Each structure stands twice: as C-alpha cells, then as structure tokens.
C-alpha cells in the first residue's frame, strides 16, 4: 500500500478513512486533523490560556506536542497520584518531555495537597481507587486552572475513550452525562472550558503518531486500570470495529450530530444553578462539593487507621 499523498510506501493505514500515509504525511495529516477539530468546535479562541492535563501516557503527550506544533502555547499539568513506581515513572516521562521541549509544567501532589495518596484514599473510603482518583483529578484540574488564571483545560481523550464512555452512558441511560459528553464543554464562572482536540483519533492512530514523532511516553498501564468497566466497553467496541471498520467513529459522531441536540433541547429547562462550596470555594451544585465530602469521609476513617501523616494536623 502506498501513501495517499506522495505515493511512497505507506507506514500507517487509516482503515476507517480508507487512507494510508508515509511517516511524514501521517504526521502532517494528524496535526492538520487536530487543527480542524479545534476550529470546528471553536475549542481555542484568541486570548485563551490553556492548561493541558498530562499523565505521561501517549495521549496526553501527543496532545501537548500537537498543540505546540499548532502554535498554541499550553502549560502542562501533572498530578502525582502516589501509585507507587507507576506514578514515579509517569512523572519522569512527563518531566523529560517538558524539559526536552522547554515547555512549562505544573506538578501537584495529591498527598501533599490532601494528606493521602490515591491508594490510601481508596483504602480509607473502601471505594475503588478509580472513583476517588477521577474525582480528585477533575477537581484539581479545575482548581489549579482557576488559581493560575487558565480558562481552558485540554485533555487527551481519543475516539476509543469517547466511544467507550458513550457506550457506558447509553447502557445505563445516564442522561446528564450524555448531555454533557462532547469534544468541547463551555466554561462558566469558576469552571474552565474543557476541550478534547484528539477525540476523532483511534488509540492506534495516536500511538502511531507518538512512535513516528519520537515521543517517549509511559507504556505501562496504571495497576488499578485492570477490571475497569471502560476496558470492557472498549473491548466490545474493538470487536465491532474489527468486523465493521468505522463503527466507533459513526457511533460517536452520529450521536453528537443527531441525538445530543434533541436530548439537549428536551432537557433544556433552566441550567443547574451553581454556587461555591462552603468548604473549599470551588464551584458546585450543593452546599459542599463532592470532593470535600469524599475527603471528609476519608479523613475520618484514615485517622482511625493512622494513615494520616503527623504534619497534616487534621482534627
């Protein structure tokens, strides 16, 4: 198979698009598609300050690389979750990437900020690590964006992630989540705009870009990812994709185009009123935000089990 642009032997085949590219034209196609995604959804506007969430994995580093190539100066934001060697290696990959390109990076440590690592939080609350982890990551991203003056938070979600989330939301008819899911969620007072510029690329396509662009990313999966429901949804969609290439793309894009607008209209009676959390000052719907509630429960139980470090002084 030959490159659809120059006719040289192809290195990457994009089956869902019936195209193939040599290394150079694949990278160019990838960056150009990202630019189109950004433009189509008005993800980035003049004067924006962008914070890019960077885990050290391929998706987030590819996103950071692509934004830089498109001339969007984005500051990286990495959260130290405290998941043993896995977290340590994730930080190393992120730091090395930023240092090699002279990019600005903010690192926040969950244990230093709140007193417990993510595994300790899970142990204290008795809930799966991923539920507390996801909540804390979303909370910190928004809080740091507000404190540091960023109005946009970019994440590296790809087509596989988004299609799996959609399948999960549809399976349980999670209407609130279905209405909010999308490549761009407008910001509001105290809430940064959320954008996902890579949402049209499959995981394989992102990995191919990382390889051809020479990006050294962390390959190992988080030890808590095993058994996550999202992997099951990805597996189901992967099987459909093998038999019918393009299924994931059609599933997500047609949902966003044909179904979500109808859903939004049906649920349009008044936006949920937002206010500031009495405890931490972050935007929430209730008096105290879900993050503060979760950590309160964790502190109470962690104190009993002596998981809290001496210097925290919680009472």
Binding site listing for Zn(2+): 3, 6, 22, 25, 277, 280, 289, 292
Of positions 54, 62, 63, 118, contacts ligand Q46 by CB under 6 A: 118
Spatial strand order of the sheet with 50-53 comes to 105-109, 74-80, 50-53, 152-154, 193-195, 184-185
Neighbours of 91 (CB within 10 A): 21
From the list Zn ion, ligand Q46, none, partner contacted by residue 236 (C-beta under 5 to 8 A by kind)? none
Q: Are 116 and 297 in contact (CB under 8 A)?
A: no
**Contact call for residues 151 and 48 (beta carbons, < 8 A):** yes
Please report whether residue 204 would count as binding ligand Q46 according to CB under 6 A: no
| Residues in binding site for ATP | 53-55, 59, 79, 156, 161
Q: Does 111 bind ligand Q46 (CB under 6 A)?
A: no
Verify binding: residue 133, ligand Q46, rule CB under 6 A: yes
Which does residue 129 bind out of Zn ion, ligand Q46, none, counting CB within 5 to 8 angstroms by kind? ligand Q46
Residue 124 contact among ligand Q46, Zn ion, none, beta carbon within 5 to 8 Å by kind: none
Q: Which does 244 bind (CB under 5 to 8 A by kind): ligand Q46, Zn ion, none?
A: none
The stretch among 127-135, 148-156, 207-215, 271-279 that binds ligand Q46 (CB under 6 A) is: 127-135
β-strand 12-14 against 193-195: which pairing, if any?
Answer: unpaired
Q: What would the two tokens of residue 121 be?
A: 């939080």
Residue 81 vs 164, nearer CB to ligand Q46:
81
Residue 27 vs 76, nearer CB to ligand Q46: 76
CA distances, 237 to each of 79, 178, 231 (Å): 29, 18, 10
Q: Which residues bind Zn ion (CB under 5 A)?
A: 3, 5-6, 8, 22, 25, 277, 279-280, 289, 292
Which option in ligand Q46, Zn ion, none does residue 143 bind, with CB closer than 5 to 8 A by kind? none
Nearest distance from C-beta of residue 129 to ligand Q46, angstroms: 4
C-alpha–C-alpha distance, residues 175 and 72, integer Å: 34
- CA–CA separation, 292 and 314 (whole Å): 14
Q: H or E segment at 184?
A: strand 184-185
Measured in degrees and rounded to the nearest 5, phi and psi for residue 186 equal -55, 145
The binding site for ligand Q46 (CB under 6 A) comprises 81, 118, 129-130, 133-134, 222, 224-225
């Amino acid at each position: 198979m030959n490159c659809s642009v120059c006719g040289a032997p192809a290195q990457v085949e994009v089956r869902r698009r019936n195209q193939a590219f040599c290394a150079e034209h694949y990278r160019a196609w990838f960056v150009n598609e990202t630019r189109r995604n950004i433009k189509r959804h008005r993800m980035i506007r003049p004067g924006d300050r962008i914070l890019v969430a960077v885990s050290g994995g391929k998706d987030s580093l590819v996103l950071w690389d692509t934004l830089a190539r498109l001339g969007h100066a984005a500051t990286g934001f990495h959260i130290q979750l405290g998941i043993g060697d896995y977290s340590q290696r994730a930080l190393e990959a992120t730091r090395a990437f930023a240092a090699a390109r002279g990019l600005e990076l903010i690192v926040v440590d969950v244990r230093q900020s709140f007193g417990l690592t993510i595994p300790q939080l899970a142990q204290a609350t008795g809930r799966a690590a991923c539920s507390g982890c996801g909540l804390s990551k979303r909370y910190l991203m928004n809080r740091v964006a507000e404190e540091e003056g960023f109005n946009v938070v970019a994440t590296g979600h790809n087509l596989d992630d988004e299609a799996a989330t959609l399948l999960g939301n549809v399976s349980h008819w999670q209407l609130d989540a279905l209405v909010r899911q999308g490549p761009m969620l407008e910001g509001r007072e105290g809430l940064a705009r959320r954008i996902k510029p890579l949402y049209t690329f499959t995981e394989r396509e992102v990995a191919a870009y990382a390889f051809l662009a020479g990006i050294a990313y962390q390959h190992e999966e988080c030890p808590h990812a095993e058994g996550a429901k999202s992997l099951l949804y990805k597996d189901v969609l992967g099987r459909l994709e093998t038999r019918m290439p393009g299924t994931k793309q059609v599933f997500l894009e047609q949902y966003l185009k044909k179904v979500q607008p109808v859903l939004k209209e049906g649920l349009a009676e008044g936006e949920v009123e937002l206010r500031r959390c009495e405890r931490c000052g972050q935007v929430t719907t209730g008096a105290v935000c879900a993050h503060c509630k979760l950590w309160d429960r964790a502190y109470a139980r962690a104190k009993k089990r002596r998981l809290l470090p001496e210097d925290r002084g919680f009472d």
